[in-house]
Structure 1
Amino acid sequence: MKTHKNKNAFYPLLLAMTAGLGSAQAAENMVVVGYGGAGQKAQDAAFFQPFGTADGSPLMQSEYNGEMARIKVMADTGNVDWDVVQIEGPDLARGCEEGMFERLDWNQLGRADQLIPDAAQDCGSAALVWSVAIAYDTDKLAQAPASWADFWDVQKVPGKRGLRKRAVYNLEFALLADGVKVEDVYTVLGTREGVDRAFAKLTELKPYIQWWEAGAQPPQWLASGDVVMTSTYSGRVAAAAQEGHHLALVWPGSLYGMDYWAIIKGSQHAERAKKFIAFTNQPDAQVNYVEHIPYGPTNKQAAERLDPKLAKWVPTSPQNLAGALPMNVEFWVDHGEELEERFNSWAAK
């Protein structure tokens, strides 16, 4: 998942690296790219392997942290060695506008009426509903945090905090820690004073922050005691808890949104990629996925069929949505690049 840092500086290097790949390499097998870790293992079990079996040809898979510059090089040069990528909503919207992704024909794909609102986009199909929340180890923290204000309170609970190394999520959490109500976060963040306020709040915590970039890191850091609490993707912690680790989530003040499947412009496997996306939207496939890692399903029929035991971990369960903040994708499309640049400059100081 993603950073725009030094995007222009990386572009010539990536262009040189990609230009030599040639189209023959990309033509052999369809490549699906996710974010690795437990999430991708669940995708492999629920989507990649079953689709490959049904379609008669295995998929190749890779992983990344959301580097949009690499995707842009592929789309611009036509040397596309990835086909389907998992991507966040703001990056999907920007990439769609810039012509980096194939546009989808939902009359061809079908099932759009079964999907939750905003799942069916011009250039993407929602892969899952995620949530970013506070996580902690119940064996190591005597008093559970209840809010982002508690997360910021290093006097009450000394020790390192884990945060993702991006502006997105952290600016929202900083305002919540500073007393802004959930319903007012994006109104405040939409002003220069609000952005300054968020960065000032982050500066207070900066000496205590351990930055994570891969989704697998937060549960590992909690288990090892490197941090006392951390922001995290809910599904990662749920998977770790199901494996026996004593981890818990704080749902009030969590932020939720969707990741999407998108097909890179110029993919030589575009038609097969569309079949893959249609496969992942089937209720049976999504129930299988959520049983492997409890992110929220995007097919409403799948949601109705989930085992109630999974409900406490699924972001879209009513009890977990109470007090949660929906990501404002439009805000991050409009302001994401400038805020990420400011964040990268601030983080480097």
Structure 2
Amino acid sequence: MDSERTRRIRRMAVVPLCFVGLAMLAQAAAEQLTVVSWGGVYTRSQILGFVRDFEQSSGIDVEMIDYTGGIEEIRSQVRAYNIKWNVVDLELFDAMRACDEGLLVEIDPASLPPAPDGTAATEDFVDGALTRCAVGNVAFATVIAYDRDRLERGPETIEDFFDLRGFPGKRGLRRTPMTNLEWALISDGVESARVYDVLDTEEGVDRAFAVLDRIKPQIEWWELGEEAVRLLETDSVAMTSAYNGRIHSAAQRGEPFEILWDHNVRFWDVWGIPKHTENLDAALAFVRFATSTRSLANQSEHIAYGPLRKSSLRLLDSETRENLPTADKNAASGFATNAQWWGEHLPELQIRFDRWLERSVNVPKDLPGR
């Protein structure tokens, strides 16, 4: 591990530091950045992939803290002019909402480092990964995961997840309407290409919640990605939604976990900087460093998430690439979440979802449990 770490530091040492302005930040050595991310093996992949290298190169200490997503805390800090978070790892739709509300600093894409061959960042990032207030880092997928040692027959389709009679046992789901509503409709016969058209109607939303009603008494809710893994580790559920990288990491540790890629839902994570941050120069330097070609490739070596720079993908070996949600076979089995749609509809649907959670549902007496 130490020798591997030394090699990575040496690789980073050959990257010209001028492109992130780190030499100009020597005077900020006593500063500390608070960077907010998603915890567990994901945050670990960032620390090993580029955070330590950034600290060594800049002299700036980075404190990593966890959260469960959303923009409420950012909104509170910005409106109070009391910024405690300097850089935040956001889901794309949340970054779009926060930007529209004026909560994030605008980031000039021309200031981002080019690819090693000189290709401008605007050409190197995949389409849509650079927005007015955010810079893309990785693509991940929400998938279905299960323990092959505990199920005589594993699920093969998303419909199996909603089939409590054919596949008895509790289900794990993230405590959010996102993905859950799409999967509910798909399991009820809606094609993934039409799912947002259907959700655009009141009848479609009603239909999705009606499908969720069927399994609601058997749902164990999770919020942090590591919680989904623990649901499997503790035999609390027969299967659960989860982030592909978390399950892949658990499998590498020896857990008998399997991923069902059918109708996986791809998301993008991006970096944003809350407005009014006092450490703006250091925060911008961190974002530039974290989204350089080598940094994104390094992170993908520690978690199976796809880098959003084409040049980063080219640095990964074939075995690493085939486990990413952006691999051809995995991408073909799923679809990308509509970040624009969720940015517009999440507030109202979150209210309805929270109310739905509070409402009890009658359970058929012949419904098998776990």
Same fold? TM cut 0.5: yes
Report if aligned partners of 2:139, 2:307 keep a CA contact under 8 Å in 1: yes
User: What letter matches 1:93 in structure 2?
Assistant: M
Identical-residue share of aligned pairs (%) = 36
Rg bigger for which structure?
Answer: 2
Inter-partner Cα distance in structure 2 for 1:310 and 1:109: 26
* Alpha-carbon offset, residue 180 of structure 1: 1.0
Cα distance change of structure 1 residues 28 and 276 upon mapping to structure 2, 3 Å threshold:
closer
* Counterpart check, 1:95 vs 2:98: yes
C-alpha distance in 1, partners of 2:217/2:322? 33
State the distance in 1 between where 2:259 and 2:349 align: 27
CA distance, structure 2, for counterparts of residue 251 and residue 312 of structure 1? 13
How far did 1:254 drift?
0.6
- Which range is displaced more, 150-159 or 66-75? 66-75
Find the aligned partners of 1:228 and 1:120 in 2 and give their Cα distance. 38
Residues 263-274 of structure 1 mapped to structure 2, 5 A cutoff = 263-274=273-284
Deviation at 1:144, TM superposition (A): 1.7
- Written as runs of structure 1 = structure 2, the 5 A alignment for 1:7-86 is 28-86=31-89
Distance apart, 1:61 and its partner CA: 1.6
Runs of 4+ that moved beyond 4 A: none
Residue 118 of structure 1 is matched in structure 2 by 128
Equivalent residue number for residue 367 of structure 2: none
Question: Could you tell me which residue of structure 2 aligns to residue 295 of structure 1?
Answer: 305
Distance in structure 2 (CA, Å) of the matches to 1:239 and 1:174: 27
The answer to whether the 8 Å contact 2:33/2:60 transfers is no
Which residue is 1:215 aligned to? Answer: 225
Report SS of the residue matched to 1:70. Answer: helix
Q: How far 1:67 moved relative to its partner?
A: 4.2
Instruction: Give matches, 1:258-337, under 5 Å.
Output: 258-337=268-347
Q: Which residue in the other structure is 2:4 paired with?
A: none
Tell me, yes or no, if structure 1 residue 173 matches structure 2 residue 178.
no
Comparing 99-108 with 273-282, which one deviates more in the overlay? 273-282
Cα RMSD between the aligned structures? 1.2
Residue correspondence of structure 1 range 136-151 to structure 2 within 5 A: 136-151=146-161
- Report the Cα distance in structure 2 between the residues aligned to 1:66 and 1:252, rounded to whole angstroms: 25
Q: Distance in 2 between matches of 1:231 and 1:67?
A: 19
In the alignment, the residues of structure 1 paired with residue 101 and residue 344 of structure 2 have an alpha-carbon distance, to the nearest angstrom, of 14
SS for the counterpart of 1:30 is strand
What is the total number of aligned residue pairs between the two structures? 323
- Measured in 2, the distance between the counterparts of 1:71 and 1:59 equals 19
Contact 1:163–1:231 (Cα < 8 Å) also in 2: yes
Report the alpha carbon displacement of residue 179 of structure 1 after superposing the two structures with TM. Answer: 1.3
C-alpha separation in 1, matches of 2:198 and 2:322:
31
Structure 1: state its 5+ residue gaps.
1-26
Q: Matched residues in 2 for 1:218 and 1:65: separation?
A: 13
CA distance in 2, matches of 1:28, 1:346: 45
SS of the equivalent of 2:133 reads coil
Q: How do residues 174-189 of structure 1 correspond to structure 2 at under 5 angstroms? A: 174-189=184-199
- Are 1:158 and 2:168 matched, yes or no? yes
**C-alpha distance in 2, partners of 1:140/1:310?**
27
Counterpart mapping for 1:244-255 below 5 A: 244-255=254-265
Q: Please report the TM-score for the alignment, with normalisation by the length of structure 1.
A: 0.90
Q: Secondary structure at the match of 2:32?
A: coil
Q: Is the 8 A contact 2:51 2:290 kept in 1?
A: no
Q: Which runs of 5+ in 2 are unaligned?
A: 1-29, 114-120, 360-370
Distance 1:340 1:101 in 2: 22
